[in-house]
Structure 1
Protein backbone atom coordinates (compact mmCIF):
# COMPACT_ATOMS: atom_id res chain seq x y z
CA UNK A 1 0.00 0.00 0.00
CA UNK A 2 1.25 3.48 -0.90
CA UNK A 3 0.06 6.47 1.15
CA UNK A 4 0.48 10.11 0.08
CA UNK A 5 0.30 12.79 2.78
CA UNK A 6 0.13 16.39 1.54
CA UNK A 7 1.47 18.77 4.19
CA UNK A 8 1.61 22.53 4.55
CA UNK A 9 2.91 22.92 8.08
CA UNK A 10 -0.55 23.46 9.58
CA UNK A 11 -1.82 21.68 12.68
CA UNK A 12 -4.45 20.00 10.49
CA UNK A 13 -1.78 18.51 8.22
CA UNK A 14 0.19 17.25 11.21
CA UNK A 15 -2.91 15.57 12.61
CA UNK A 16 -3.43 13.83 9.26
CA UNK A 17 0.23 12.81 9.28
CA UNK A 18 -0.18 11.13 12.67
CA UNK A 19 -3.21 9.20 11.37
CA UNK A 20 -1.27 8.13 8.27
CA UNK A 21 1.64 6.95 10.42
CA UNK A 22 -0.72 4.78 12.48
CA UNK A 23 -2.21 3.30 9.31
CA UNK A 24 1.20 2.71 7.74
CA UNK A 25 2.42 0.83 10.82
CA UNK A 26 -0.63 -1.46 10.74
CA UNK A 27 -0.56 -2.04 6.98
CA UNK A 28 3.18 -1.96 6.35
CA UNK A 29 2.53 0.89 3.94
CA UNK A 30 4.99 3.12 2.15
CA UNK A 31 4.69 6.84 3.04
CA UNK A 32 5.38 9.83 0.83
CA UNK A 33 5.00 13.36 2.20
CA UNK A 34 4.40 16.13 -0.29
CA UNK A 35 4.06 19.89 -0.24
CA UNK A 36 3.18 22.31 -3.01
CA UNK A 37 4.61 25.83 -3.07
CA UNK A 38 2.29 28.35 -4.64
CA UNK A 39 3.31 29.54 -8.07
CA UNK A 40 1.58 32.56 -9.52
CA UNK A 41 0.75 32.48 -13.20
CA UNK A 42 0.16 35.61 -15.28
CA UNK A 43 1.51 37.84 -12.52
CA UNK A 44 4.58 39.84 -13.45
CA UNK A 45 4.92 42.11 -10.43
CA UNK A 46 5.54 39.56 -7.65
CA UNK A 47 9.13 39.73 -6.37
CA UNK A 48 11.19 36.54 -6.59
CA UNK A 49 11.93 36.81 -2.87
CA UNK A 50 8.21 36.50 -2.14
CA UNK A 51 7.92 33.37 -4.29
CA UNK A 52 11.01 31.91 -2.61
CA UNK A 53 9.20 32.21 0.74
CA UNK A 54 6.47 29.87 -0.53
CA UNK A 55 9.06 27.33 -1.67
CA UNK A 56 10.99 27.57 1.61
CA UNK A 57 7.76 27.06 3.55
CA UNK A 58 6.95 23.94 1.49
CA UNK A 59 10.43 22.52 2.05
CA UNK A 60 10.20 23.15 5.80
CA UNK A 61 6.77 21.45 5.94
CA UNK A 62 8.09 18.34 4.17
CA UNK A 63 11.24 18.22 6.29
CA UNK A 64 9.20 18.50 9.50
CA UNK A 65 6.83 15.74 8.37
CA UNK A 66 9.69 13.45 7.33
CA UNK A 67 11.30 13.90 10.74
CA UNK A 68 8.04 12.95 12.48
CA UNK A 69 7.66 9.84 10.31
CA UNK A 70 11.23 8.77 11.00
CA UNK A 71 10.82 9.31 14.76
CA UNK A 72 7.88 6.91 14.54
CA UNK A 73 10.25 4.29 13.14
CA UNK A 74 9.17 4.49 9.49
CA UNK A 75 10.79 5.74 6.33
CA UNK A 76 9.33 8.48 4.17
CA UNK A 77 9.87 9.62 0.63
CA UNK A 78 9.48 13.35 0.00
CA UNK A 79 8.25 15.53 -2.82
CA UNK A 80 8.11 19.33 -3.17
CA UNK A 81 6.45 20.86 -6.20
CA UNK A 82 5.43 24.33 -7.32
CA UNK A 83 2.03 25.04 -8.81
CA UNK A 84 -0.84 27.48 -9.05
CA UNK A 85 -3.24 24.87 -7.65
CA UNK A 86 -1.90 22.57 -4.93
CA UNK A 87 -4.91 20.27 -5.38
CA UNK A 88 -4.07 19.74 -9.04
CA UNK A 89 -0.44 18.93 -8.19
CA UNK A 90 -1.54 16.45 -5.51
CA UNK A 91 -4.04 14.70 -7.80
CA UNK A 92 -1.59 14.50 -10.71
CA UNK A 93 1.24 13.15 -8.54
CA UNK A 94 -1.10 10.60 -6.92
CA UNK A 95 -2.14 9.35 -10.36
CA UNK A 96 1.40 9.24 -11.78
CA UNK A 97 2.79 7.33 -8.80
CA UNK A 98 -0.29 5.11 -8.37
CA UNK A 99 -0.97 5.86 -4.71
CA UNK A 100 -3.61 3.76 -2.97
CA UNK A 101 -4.61 6.43 -0.46
CA UNK A 102 -4.24 10.14 0.20
CA UNK A 103 -4.46 11.21 3.85
CA UNK A 104 -4.85 14.94 4.42
CA UNK A 105 -6.17 17.53 6.82
CA UNK A 106 -9.60 19.03 6.23
CA UNK A 107 -8.16 22.53 6.36
CA UNK A 108 -4.80 24.01 5.69
CA UNK A 109 -3.56 27.52 5.70
CA UNK A 110 -5.93 30.45 5.93
CA UNK A 111 -5.85 34.04 4.75
CA UNK A 112 -4.28 34.78 1.36
CA UNK A 113 -3.31 31.16 0.72
CA UNK A 114 -6.86 29.92 1.24
CA UNK A 115 -8.25 32.73 -0.90
CA UNK A 116 -5.92 31.81 -3.75
CA UNK A 117 -6.32 28.05 -3.70
CA UNK A 118 -9.84 27.51 -2.38
CA UNK A 119 -10.59 24.24 -0.64
CA UNK A 120 -7.64 22.01 -1.44
CA UNK A 121 -9.11 19.02 0.38
CA UNK A 122 -12.43 19.39 -1.44
CA UNK A 123 -10.77 19.51 -4.84
CA UNK A 124 -8.57 16.51 -4.04
CA UNK A 125 -11.58 14.47 -2.90
CA UNK A 126 -13.45 15.37 -6.09
CA UNK A 127 -10.63 14.53 -8.50
CA UNK A 128 -8.29 12.01 -6.84
CA UNK A 129 -7.56 8.74 -8.63
CA UNK A 130 -7.62 6.87 -5.31
CA UNK A 131 -9.36 6.92 -1.94
CA UNK A 132 -8.92 10.04 0.18
CA UNK A 133 -9.10 10.14 3.97
CA UNK A 134 -9.80 13.65 5.22
CA UNK A 135 -8.82 14.01 8.87
CA UNK A 136 -10.58 16.49 11.17
Structure 2
Protein backbone atom coordinates (compact mmCIF):
# COMPACT_ATOMS: atom_id res chain seq x y z
CA UNK A 1 0.00 0.00 0.00
CA UNK A 2 1.22 3.50 -0.89
CA UNK A 3 0.15 6.34 1.42
CA UNK A 4 0.73 10.00 0.59
CA UNK A 5 0.45 12.49 3.44
CA UNK A 6 0.14 16.06 2.19
CA UNK A 7 1.26 18.59 4.78
CA UNK A 8 1.29 22.33 5.01
CA UNK A 9 3.38 24.19 7.54
CA UNK A 10 0.66 24.78 10.10
CA UNK A 11 0.75 23.54 13.68
CA UNK A 12 -2.00 21.09 12.74
CA UNK A 13 0.36 19.33 10.30
CA UNK A 14 1.97 17.46 13.22
CA UNK A 15 -1.40 15.88 14.06
CA UNK A 16 -1.97 14.88 10.43
CA UNK A 17 1.53 13.38 10.22
CA UNK A 18 0.99 11.45 13.47
CA UNK A 19 -2.20 9.88 12.06
CA UNK A 20 -0.48 9.02 8.76
CA UNK A 21 2.45 7.39 10.55
CA UNK A 22 0.10 5.31 12.70
CA UNK A 23 -1.82 4.22 9.61
CA UNK A 24 1.37 3.34 7.71
CA UNK A 25 2.51 1.20 10.64
CA UNK A 26 -0.87 -0.48 10.95
CA UNK A 27 -1.06 -1.29 7.24
CA UNK A 28 2.64 -1.99 6.66
CA UNK A 29 2.46 0.71 4.00
CA UNK A 30 5.05 2.89 2.31
CA UNK A 31 4.68 6.52 3.32
CA UNK A 32 5.46 9.58 1.20
CA UNK A 33 5.42 13.04 2.75
CA UNK A 34 4.48 15.83 0.35
CA UNK A 35 4.76 19.56 0.91
CA UNK A 36 3.94 22.24 -1.63
CA UNK A 37 5.61 25.62 -1.97
CA UNK A 38 3.05 27.90 -3.51
CA UNK A 39 4.04 30.17 -6.39
CA UNK A 40 2.97 33.79 -6.33
CA UNK A 41 3.09 34.69 -10.01
CA UNK A 42 -0.20 36.58 -9.87
CA UNK A 43 1.30 39.24 -7.56
CA UNK A 44 4.45 39.73 -9.60
CA UNK A 45 3.63 43.35 -10.44
CA UNK A 46 3.71 44.30 -6.77
CA UNK A 47 6.52 42.25 -5.20
CA UNK A 48 9.86 40.67 -5.98
CA UNK A 49 8.27 37.31 -6.78
CA UNK A 50 11.52 35.43 -7.44
CA UNK A 51 12.94 36.28 -4.03
CA UNK A 52 9.65 35.49 -2.29
CA UNK A 53 9.30 32.19 -4.17
CA UNK A 54 12.85 31.14 -3.26
CA UNK A 55 12.21 31.85 0.42
CA UNK A 56 8.94 29.93 0.41
CA UNK A 57 10.59 26.97 -1.34
CA UNK A 58 13.48 26.88 1.15
CA UNK A 59 11.08 27.00 4.09
CA UNK A 60 8.93 24.26 2.55
CA UNK A 61 11.95 21.99 1.97
CA UNK A 62 13.07 22.48 5.57
CA UNK A 63 9.59 21.62 6.85
CA UNK A 64 9.52 18.48 4.69
CA UNK A 65 12.85 17.30 6.11
CA UNK A 66 11.58 17.94 9.63
CA UNK A 67 8.47 15.86 8.92
CA UNK A 68 10.64 13.06 7.52
CA UNK A 69 12.80 13.12 10.67
CA UNK A 70 9.66 12.81 12.79
CA UNK A 71 8.53 9.80 10.75
CA UNK A 72 11.97 8.20 10.99
CA UNK A 73 11.99 8.66 14.78
CA UNK A 74 8.66 6.81 14.82
CA UNK A 75 10.11 3.94 12.79
CA UNK A 76 8.86 4.89 9.32
CA UNK A 77 11.36 5.68 6.56
CA UNK A 78 9.27 8.09 4.51
CA UNK A 79 10.01 9.41 1.04
CA UNK A 80 9.98 13.22 0.80
CA UNK A 81 8.30 15.01 -2.09
CA UNK A 82 8.51 18.79 -2.41
CA UNK A 83 6.56 20.42 -5.22
CA UNK A 84 6.19 24.02 -6.27
CA UNK A 85 3.19 25.48 -8.02
CA UNK A 86 0.11 27.65 -7.94
CA UNK A 87 -2.39 24.95 -6.93
CA UNK A 88 -1.43 22.60 -4.08
CA UNK A 89 -4.54 20.50 -4.71
CA UNK A 90 -3.68 19.90 -8.37
CA UNK A 91 -0.10 18.95 -7.48
CA UNK A 92 -1.31 16.48 -4.84
CA UNK A 93 -3.82 14.94 -7.25
CA UNK A 94 -1.27 14.67 -10.08
CA UNK A 95 1.29 13.04 -7.79
CA UNK A 96 -1.29 10.52 -6.60
CA UNK A 97 -2.13 9.64 -10.21
CA UNK A 98 1.48 9.40 -11.37
CA UNK A 99 2.74 7.35 -8.42
CA UNK A 100 -0.21 4.96 -7.99
CA UNK A 101 -1.01 6.22 -4.50
CA UNK A 102 -3.64 4.14 -2.67
CA UNK A 103 -4.53 6.67 0.03
CA UNK A 104 -4.03 10.40 0.52
CA UNK A 105 -4.03 11.73 4.08
CA UNK A 106 -4.38 15.46 4.60
CA UNK A 107 -5.72 17.99 7.04
CA UNK A 108 -8.80 20.09 6.79
CA UNK A 109 -7.85 23.74 6.95
CA UNK A 110 -11.25 25.37 6.70
CA UNK A 111 -11.50 28.82 5.24
CA UNK A 112 -14.36 30.92 6.50
CA UNK A 113 -16.70 33.33 4.84
CA UNK A 114 -16.52 34.33 1.19
CA UNK A 115 -12.95 33.04 0.49
CA UNK A 116 -14.16 29.49 1.14
CA UNK A 117 -16.68 29.74 -1.67
CA UNK A 118 -14.47 31.68 -4.08
CA UNK A 119 -11.30 29.66 -3.63
CA UNK A 120 -12.43 26.37 -2.11
CA UNK A 121 -10.27 24.34 0.21
CA UNK A 122 -7.40 22.13 -0.84
CA UNK A 123 -8.99 19.21 1.02
CA UNK A 124 -12.34 19.61 -0.76
CA UNK A 125 -10.68 19.74 -4.17
CA UNK A 126 -8.50 16.71 -3.45
CA UNK A 127 -11.50 14.72 -2.20
CA UNK A 128 -13.46 15.62 -5.32
CA UNK A 129 -10.74 14.79 -7.86
CA UNK A 130 -8.32 12.28 -6.34
CA UNK A 131 -7.82 8.94 -8.11
CA UNK A 132 -7.83 7.11 -4.75
CA UNK A 133 -9.32 7.21 -1.28
CA UNK A 134 -8.73 10.33 0.80
CA UNK A 135 -8.63 10.56 4.59
CA UNK A 136 -9.24 14.08 5.86
CA UNK A 137 -8.09 14.69 9.43
CA UNK A 138 -9.99 17.27 11.47
Task: Please tell me the TM-score bracket, short chain as reference.
Answer: 0.7 to 0.9
Aligned length: 132
- Name which of 56, 60, 82 aligns with 1:54: 56
C-alpha RMSD of matched pairs (Å) = 2.2
Q: Tell me the CA shift for residue 12 of structure 1.
A: 2.1
Structure 2, unaligned stretches of length 5 or more? none
Q: Is the 8 Å Cα contact of residues 111 and 121 (structure 2) preserved in structure 1? A: no
1:101 match: 103
2:88 match: 86
Query: So what's the TM-score if we normalise by structure 1?
Result: 0.88
Q: Is the 8 Å Cα contact of residues 85 and 117 (structure 1) preserved in structure 2? A: no
Once residues 135 and 95 of structure 1 are traced to their aligned partners in structure 2, the CA distance between those partners, rounded to angstroms, is: 21
Task: Report which stretch shifted further, 39-48 or 1-10.
Answer: 39-48
| 1:76–1:108 Cα change, 3 Å | farther
| 1:53–1:109 Cα change, 3 Å | farther
Q: Is the 8 Å Cα contact of residues 85 and 91 (structure 2) preserved in structure 1? A: yes
Once residues 110 and 18 of structure 2 are traced to their aligned partners in structure 1, the CA distance between those partners, rounded to angstroms, is: 15
Larger radius of gyration: 2
Once residues 74 and 88 of structure 1 are traced to their aligned partners in structure 2, the CA distance between those partners, rounded to angstroms, is: 26
Query: So what's the TM-score if we normalise by structure 2?
Result: 0.87
Structure 1, unaligned stretches of length 5 or more? none
Q: Is the 8 Å Cα contact of residues 86 and 117 (structure 1) preserved in structure 2? A: no
1:37 match: 37
Once residues 2 and 65 of structure 1 are traced to their aligned partners in structure 2, the CA distance between those partners, rounded to angstroms, is: 17
Q: Is the 8 Å Cα contact of residues 8 and 108 (structure 1) preserved in structure 2? A: no
Q: Is the 8 Å Cα contact of residues 13 and 108 (structure 1) preserved in structure 2? A: no
